[in-house]
A = this chain, B = another copy of it.
Amino acid sequence: MPFDLTREYIDNLKELIDQYDEKTVSNLISPLHPADIAEIFNEITIEEAKFLYMILEGETRADVIIELEEDTRERFLKALSGEEIAKQFIEEMDSDDAADVIGELSEDLQEEILQHIEDTDQAGDIVDLLSYDEDTAGGLMAKELIRVNENWNVLTCLREMRKQAEDVDEVYYVYVVDDDNVLKGILSLKKLLLARRDSKISSIYKSDIISVRTDTHKEDVANIMDKYDLVALPVVDSIDRLLGRITIDDVVDVIREEAEKDYQMISGIAEDVEPSDNVILLTRARLPWLFIGLLGGILAALVLGGYEEELKIYPEMAFFIPLIAAMGGNVGVQSSAIIVQGLASDTLGIESTGRKLFKEVSVALINGVILSSLALVYNLLTLESLALTISVSLALFAVILFASIFGTSIPLLLEKLKIDPALATGPFITTMNDIISLFIYLLIGRMLYGII
C-alpha cells in the first residue's frame, strides 16, 4: 500500500534528526520510495534535509533530488558545491533528469558541475539536452534508450541489450535503426521475448510507428502520446536519425502542469503555488491579479461617474449594476474557457473560425433571449419604471451577445499571435469585459430614459 505522510511521522523524524540518531533514522527512511522521501524534504528544514540526504545512498539521492518540488530543490542545492552536485547524484541520473536539474541553476554553476562529471559521454549528453528549448520534445527527451541494428538477429540483439540495458531504467521498447542511425521502427520486449533467437530483427520489428522532431512543442507531444496511448515516443532529427525518447511519466507531468497553468490563469493566480507554500509566496501569487482588479474597479467607477446625473434621478438604475457586470463576466469566461480547453486538448475540430463564431453567436442569441425574457417578466412584475425594465433586458441581451463574441475571439486571436490563449480567461480581459458591459448598460439606460 502507498505510504501516507503524517504530522506524527514528521515530528518523530525531526526529533530523531535533532538527536543525530543516524541508525534509527536510516531504518525509518530506507523502506520508503524516493518520492516519499522527497515529500518529507518539503516538511523539514534545510539543515534536517541535509542530515537525511547524507544518510541516503547515491542512487536514492539522485531519485530524491529529481522528485523534489522546484523551490525546495533550489533551496537545497544552494547548500552544495558544483563538485558535490556532480559527484553525489548527477552521475547517477538519466540524462533528461540531469539536464532538468542543471538547467535550473546559474550558468556559472552549470559549467562547474559539467566540468566535474567524469563520464564525458554523460556530460556530452547533458550539454546536448541543455541546448533544446525546455518546452519542446528535445527538452523532454532522455538520451538513454536501447538501440539495435535492423540487420542483427534476436541473439545479437539480446547480447547488445545486456550491454546497453544497464544505463536504462525502464525499457518498454527497443528502437531499431539502420547503419546511419535512421529510425526504422520499434520492437516490443514482449515480441522479443517470444521470438526465436535466430529470427532477423528486420523480420519482426514494427515499422509503422509515430515519432516526433526535437522541436515539437511539449503540448503536442502530450496530445500525441495521449491520443495514441503510447508509453514511450522516439524523438528524431530532421533526417529521421534517432536522438532520444520521451517516456509517459514526463508527459503526465506536462499534462498536469498545463492544466494547472490554465486553472491558475482562470482563477487569477499568477504563479505556481500550493497551499503548503509560505505566506509571502501565496501573497505574491495573488496580489498582481487583484491589483488589475482594483484598476478595473476604479475604471468602472469613472465610467459610472459619467452617469452621475442619471443615477441621482433614477437611483434604481444602480440596482442592476451587479447583474449586468456579473453576466458579462460569466458569459465571457464561459466562451473563452471552451476555446482554451479545446486548444489545449487539440479538440477544436476542423471548423473554421467563422463557423465557430457563428455557433457562438447562435448560443448567445438563445441564452440572451431566455435570460432577458426572464428578467423582463420579473421586472415588469416588480419595477415601477418601464424605462428601467426595458433597459435592463435590452442591456442584458446586448451584453450576453457582446461577451460571447469577445470571449470567443480573444483566445483565438491570441493563439494566432502565438500568445498563450489562456490569457483570455485572466483578469485583464475579464475586467475589460466587465467595464464594457457596464458601459453598454448605462448607454442603453440613458437612451431609454430619454425616450420613455
Contact = CB atoms under 8 A, between A and B. Distances in A.
B326 A296 contact: yes
Given A297-B324, A319-B304, A43 B350 contact: yes
Contacts of A283: 363, 366-367
A260 B341 contact: yes
A264 B342 CA distance: 12
A361 to B, nearest CB: 10
A349 B434 contact: no
Interface residues of A, number: 125
A124 to B, nearest CB: 25
A239 to B, nearest CB: 13
A1 B211 contact: yes
A362 interface: yes
Nearest to A158: B193
Interface in A352-383: 352, 356, 359-360, 362-363, 366-367, 370-371, 374-375, 378
A321 B318 contact: yes
Given A170-B231, A267-B333, A194 B275 contact: no
A267 B334 contact: yes
Interface string A258-299: 011011101111000111101100110011011101101110
Contacts of A435: 322
A340 B331 CA distance: 23
Given A274-B347, A312-B312, A363-B282, A301 B326 contact: no
B193 A268 contact: no
A48 to B, nearest CB: 15
A443 interface: no
Contacts of A350: 5-7, 10, 43
A282 B431 contact: no
Nearest to A226: B252
A386 interface: no
Nearest to A400: B290
Copies in the complex: 2
Interface of A is mostly: helix
A294 B338 CA distance: 21
Contacts of A243: none
A370 B6 contact: no
Given A266-B267, A279-B359, 20 more contacts: A2-B212, A2-B224, A31-B208, A35-B227, A158-B193, A161-B194, A172-B172, A189-B190, A189-B193, A193-B193, A231-B231, A248-B248, A274-B341, A275-B349, A276-B351, A282-B338, A290-B371, A293-B327, A294-B371, A294-B375
Identify the 3 closest CB pairs spanning chains A and B, nearest first: A297-B323, A276-B349, A267-B337
9 contacts: A165-B190, A226-B249, A268-B337, A269-B338, A275-B347, A290-B367, A300-B322, A300-B323, A300-B326
Interface of A: 1-2, 5-7, 10, 31, 33, 35, 42-43, 158, 161-162, 165, 170-172, 188-190, 192-194, 208, 210-212, 224-229, 231, 248-249, 251-253, 255-256, 259-260, 262-264, 266-269, 273-276, 278-279, 282-283, 286-287, 289-291, 293-294, 296-298, 300-302, 304-305, 308, 311-312, 315-316, 318-327, 330-331, 333-334, 336-339, 341-342, 345, 347-352, 356, 359-360, 362-363, 366-367, 370-371, 374-375, 378, 400, 425, 427, 431, 434-435, 438
